Amino acid sequence: MKPLRILVTLLLACLACLVVVPKAWAFCGFYVAKADTKLYNQASQVAIARSENHTVLTMANDYQGEVEDFAIVVPVPVVLQKEQVKVTNPTIMERLDAFSAPRLVEYFDPDPCAPDYLEDRVPSAPRNAGNASIGAGERDGSLGVRIEAKFTVGEYDILILSAKESGGLETWLVRNGYKIPQGAKQLLKPYIRQKMKFFVAKVNLKEFDKAGFQSLRPLQITYDSPRFMLPIRLGMVNAKAAQDLIVYILSPKGQAKVTNYRTVKVPSDAEIPLFVKNEFSDFYKSMFQTSYTKEGRNVAFLEYAWDMASCDPCSADPLTPEELKEAGVFWLDTPQDESPVPMGSGRRPFVRSSSVFISRLHVRYTRDKFPEDLMFQETGNQEFFQGRYVLRHPYTGEAKCKEGRQYQRSLPRRFEQEAQNLAQLTGWDIRKIRQKLPQIQSQLLPWWQRAWSAFTGAA
C-alpha cells in the first residue's frame, strides 16, 4: 500500500500545481530516482545545525573494519563535557540524505491536439559535566598532552585533549593504543597553534557488545563558538584518493555556503534521454566528476537548498519535528508561524512551517586542492534549488491535427538536443548516446508499423 500512497500523494501535489500555481513556479513531475550517498564507495556525512553561535555537529563515518581498531580525532574549539556528547540514531543521516539527494524526474507530454496543450511542458525551477571529566587534569609532562575530560557515551570512550606540540600529541596517541596514520603530526600542528582541543573517541567493546548494534552509530556534539567551520584536513592523512563529503547544514535563516572556497550549484534542470532512467547512478557519478574537473577540483557543490517543511518533487517525506530535533535542530520550540502550508503553493501540502532550511553541500577533496578546513556562512538567501534531471516522454498516440504533425516533426531535434545535453554533462561519447535514441524514436510509430517492423526486422 505504501507505493500506492506515495503515488497518490505525488498526483495530488502535481494536480494542485497544474490548477493553481503558475508553471514557472512549480517543479511537480514524477520522482523516479535519487543520487544519494550510496553511489560512492566512501562518503562521509556530517550534519550541522547552526543558529547564532550555537552548533550541533553530527558525524556519521563510513568506517569499514574491526570496531576495536576504530578511532577518530576531531579538533574542537572548546573543552566538551559529557552532557555535550551523545550518540544518535543512524537513520537520521539516512533521512537527511534521502530528502536532499539530487533526483531524476519524468514528465509525459500531453496530446498535442488537445485544446489545453502548452508549448512549454516542463516547469522551471522556483526562485525563490556530572560524572564527566573523570581523570581530568591528567598530564603527560614530557609530551605536553593534557586530558581535559574523560568519559564514556554509548559505545564510545571519549577523551578531550589539549596539547602543546603536534609531535607530543601524536606520540601520546600511539602510546595509548590509538592507531594514528603516518603524517598526522604535520596536520595536527595548525590546530595546536590555534589552541584548539581534540575530541578523541574509540570504541568501548564491552558497551558495543552490550548494545547489540551491528555498526557504529553517529556521534553528536554541541558547543558554542563564533567560528563556523568543519575540520577536514585530518581526514586526508590516510586517504588513498579523493574523498567525498556530504554536509547537511540546517539553519533557521536560509542557505549556507563555504566562504574560503567557491560554492557553485551542481548542474541542474537538464533534459536528458529516456534511457538514463536505467543508468541514473552512472549518469550522476559521471556528471559530478565532469563538473568537479571543470571547476578546478576545489569547489563546494550545492546539491540542494530547500525549506524542510516542503519538497517538490519529493524523493522522501520531509523530516518530522522529532526527527529534526534528533538531527540537532534545537530552535523548534521557540515561537514561530504555525499556519499550515496551503495546497497549490508549490510546497508539500498539510505540513507546518518548520523554520528549518537545509543546504546540502558536496565536497570532493584532496590534500593539494583543499589545504584549508571548510569555513561556512549562514545567509538569508531562501532561494530553492535542487539538482534535478528531467526525462520527457513523448506523446505516442495518434496526432491528426496540424499541431500534432508539427509536434512529431520536432521530436528528432529534441532527442538530439537531449543527447547533446547528456554528452556535455557527462563527457560520454555522443555517438554511443545516439545509438540508443532510435529505440525511443521508434515508439512514436503507429502500433501496426512497430509490429510490422519487428516482424520484418526493419527499423
**Residue 249 predicted with pLDDT over 80:** yes
CB count within 10 Å of CB 19 equals 9
Average pLDDT of the chain, as a whole number:
81
What is the band of 340 on the pLDDT scale with cuts at 50, 70, 90? Answer: very low
Amino acid at 23: K
224 vs 179: which has the higher pLDDT: 224
- pLDDT for 233 beyond 60: yes
240 burial type by CB count under 10 A (0-12 exposed, 13-18 middle, 19+ buried): exposed
- Residue 116 dihedral angles phi and psi, to the nearest 5°: -100, 20
The model's pLDDT over 186-227, given as tens digits with 9 standing for 90+, comes to 888 899 999 999 999 998 888 888 877 777 899 999 999 999
Contact 368, 374 (CB under 8 A): no
State yes or no: pLDDT of 316 exceeds 70: yes
pLDDT at 335: 53
Q: What is the per-residue pLDDT for 341? A: 38
**pLDDT of the residue at 108:** 92
What does the pLDDT average to over 343-361? 61
Task: Give the other-Cβ count within 10 Å of 162's Cβ.
Answer: 17
Is 34 exposed, middle or buried (CB count within 10 Å of its CB: 0-12, 13-18, 19+)? buried
Among 17-31, 89-103, 172-186, 309-323, whose mean pLDDT is lowest?
17-31
Contact indicator for 203, 69 with CB cutoff of 8 Å: no
What CA–CA distance (Å, rounded) separates 43 from 63? 10
Q: What is residue 296's three-state secondary structure? A: coil
Average pLDDT over residues 82-92: 94
Percent of the chain with pLDDT over 70: 76
Does 4 have pLDDT greater than 50? no
Which of 115-124, 237-246, 396-405 is modeled with the greatest confidence?
Answer: 396-405
In terms of Cα–Cα distance, which of 35, 445, 97 is closest to 276?
A: 35
For 355-397, what is each residue's pLDDT tens digit?
999 999 999 998 889 989 999 999 999 999 999 999 999 988 8
Q: What share of the chain is helix, strand, coil (3-state, %, to 5)?
A: 30, 25, 40
Q: What is the mean pLDDT of residues 232-237?
A: 76
**Residue 46 or residue 140, greater confidence:** 46
